[in-house]
Amino acid sequence: MPEPNLDNLKTEAFRLIDSAADSAALEEIHVKFLGRKGELTLVLRSLGELPPEQRKLLGPQANSLKNLLEERFQARRFELEKKETDQRLTGQSVDVTLPVGTRRAARPHPLTQINNEILSIFQELGFEVADGPEIETDHYNFTALNIPKDHPARDMQDTFYIGKGNLLLRTHTSPVQIRVMEKRKPPLRIIAPGRVYRHEATDATHSAIFHQVEGLAVAENLSFADLKGTLALFARRMFGPQSEARFRPSYFPFVEPGAEMLVSCIFCKKAGCRVCKMTGWLELLGAGMVHPNVFNKVGINPEKFTGFAFGMGVERIAMLKFGINDIRLFYDNDLRFLEQF
Ligand code: FA5
């Protein structure tokens, strides 16, 4: 066996270790020299086959070279791993000085937020969401609701008629009451949100297009106390536990008796302010016990069943809740306004 040249082996190993590009390459070099079949390993293993004098000389040299190489490998390994970790961290780092928020988070329109809040309060009370068309017939919008042709109550809601007058843009969500009662038999509890239209001049509190939520409950033995309890609970949930609700008589042809619900002014707590016109109370909705004539039109026996109904303006509730003083702000699509909610 030729005498191994340890000097050459050392020079070559140092050269490769120093030039290893990364820790994976370094491990290959380690295997090449110190692995199971590595060049230096083979030298060490072959020592036993050498004549004794040669072995005496080469043995310590080879062993110290092995230690030397292991040290060199360890040092280089440490160097390379540090470099690689640094590179990885730099790639992952967050530059906290970069501008943020270039993407704006979308959220529902304030009217949608209030609409959803109203629905979920009533859904918790067992009301199901119902739906009806925005283009209605005279029958559903008026006649079936006990407002016959030429009845003066039609003047309460100036109407957009379509064509010769049998079709119109619904002036309230009450026609959904009729559509539901035609299809379903009591007991029933529904809540019907939607857009409504009135031929009205726009001002700070009125719009020609606005939104209502209609409610209807029909069962045996429902009384005005159920109506009051349900709506008072709604007001507390919507405006907070301190809010009070008050009812005063009102007239809607499709209910008897009819009422309006007022809530204590959330701005002045009943002390009187500009918003409540110094009365301490704000009008929120129309309501009442379903009129027997309405039940008769949909084939429900008014001797057996009673019911209560209510209709509220979504804009008005949103204005109260958010402290908004002009209804037109909802429709301007001005992000400076909308982003506040
Ligand atoms: C009605 O529309 C009845 N259908 C309510 C009802 C339902 C009574 C069931 C009895 C039983 P009224 O016209 O008052 O009633 O309108 C109801 C609510 O809609 C009002 O309290 C108000 O909050 C809102 N509202 C009415 N007109 C406008 C308008 N032009 N702009 C914005 N909100 C309005």
| pLDDT, average across residues 28-54 | 89
Q: Which atom of ligand 1 is nearest to the CA of 216?
A: 9
In a domain, 95, yes or no: no
Q: Which atom of ligand 1 is nearest to the CA of 215?
A: 9
Predicted local distance difference test score (pLDDT) of residue 106? 85
Predicted local distance difference test score (pLDDT) of residue 208? 95
Predicted local distance difference test score (pLDDT) of residue 267? 79
* pTM score of the predicted model: 0.72
Predicted local distance difference test score (pLDDT) of residue 247? 95
- The pLDDT of residue 100 is above 90: no
Ligand 1 pocket residue status of 142, Cβ below 6 Å: no
Ligand 1 pocket residue status of 118, Cβ below 6 Å: no
Q: How far is the CA of 36 from the centre of ligand 1 (A)?
A: 91
Q: Which atom of ligand 1 is nearest to the CA of 208?
A: 30
Do residues 156 and 239 share a domain? yes
Model confidence over 67-97: pLDDT tens digits? 998 999 999 999 999 988 888 888 787 778 8
Ligand 1 pocket residue status of 309, Cβ below 6 Å: yes
In a domain, 99, yes or no: no
Tally of domains within the chain: 2
Predicted local distance difference test score (pLDDT) of residue 2? 59
In a domain, 204, yes or no: yes
267 with 276: CB under 8 angstroms? yes
Instruction: Report residue 32 as tokens.
Output: 């090449």
Ligand 1 pocket residue status of 288, Cβ below 6 Å: yes
Model confidence over 199-247: pLDDT tens digits? 988 888 889 999 999 999 999 999 999 999 999 999 999 999 888 889 9
| pLDDT, average across residues 124-133 | 97
Do residues 144 and 264 share a domain? yes
- The pLDDT of residue 1 is above 60: no
Do residues 10 and 81 share a domain? yes
Do residues 162 and 296 share a domain? yes
Do residues 223 and 252 share a domain? yes
Q: How far is the CA of 93 from the centre of ligand 1 (A)?
A: 57
Q: How far is the CA of 77 from the centre of ligand 1 (A)?
A: 79
Do residues 256 and 325 share a domain? yes
| pLDDT, average across residues 29-57 | 89
| pLDDT, average across residues 325-340 | 92
Do residues 184 and 56 share a domain? no
Residue nearest to atom 13 of ligand 1 (CA): 157
Predicted local distance difference test score (pLDDT) of residue 158? 83
Domain end (from 57, 90, 123): 90
Do residues 176 and 313 share a domain? yes
Ligand 1 pocket residue status of 285, Cβ below 6 Å: yes
In a domain, 97, yes or no: no
In a domain, 12, yes or no: yes
Do residues 234 and 282 share a domain? yes
Domain end (from 34, 56, 90): 90
In a domain, 172, yes or no: yes
Ligand 1 pocket residue status of 210, Cβ below 6 Å: yes
**Best probe residue, ligand 1, of 212, 260, 308, 310 (max atoms within 8 Å of C-beta):** 212
Domain end (from 59, 90, 121): 90
Q: Tell me phi and psi for residue 25, to 5 degrees.
A: -65, -40
Q: How far is the CA of 155 from the centre of ligand 1 (A)?
A: 14
In a domain, 206, yes or no: yes
Residue nearest to atom 12 of ligand 1 (CA): 286
Mean model confidence pLDDT for the chain: 91
Ligand 1 pocket residue status of 127, Cβ below 6 Å: no
Predicted local distance difference test score (pLDDT) of residue 311? 98
In a domain, 243, yes or no: yes
Predicted local distance difference test score (pLDDT) of residue 209? 96
**Best probe residue, ligand 1, of 263, 285, 319 (max atoms within 8 Å of C-beta):** 285
Predicted local distance difference test score (pLDDT) of residue 97? 84
Q: CATH no. for residue 200?
A: 3.30.930.10
Do residues 36 and 179 share a domain? no
Predicted local distance difference test score (pLDDT) of residue 3? 66
Model confidence over 21-38: pLDDT tens digits? 999 999 999 999 999 998
Predicted local distance difference test score (pLDDT) of residue 266? 79
Ligand 1 pocket residue status of 206, Cβ below 6 Å: yes
pLDDT range class, residue 283, cuts 50, 70, 90: confident
Do residues 154 and 42 share a domain? no
Q: How far is the CA of 305 from the centre of ligand 1 (A)?
A: 25
Model confidence over 144-186: pLDDT tens digits? 999 988 888 777 778 899 988 789 999 999 999 999 999 999 9
Predicted local distance difference test score (pLDDT) of residue 101? 73
Model confidence over 300-321: pLDDT tens digits? 999 999 999 999 999 999 998 8
Do residues 116 and 85 share a domain? no
Residue ranges making up the domain that contains 11:
6-90
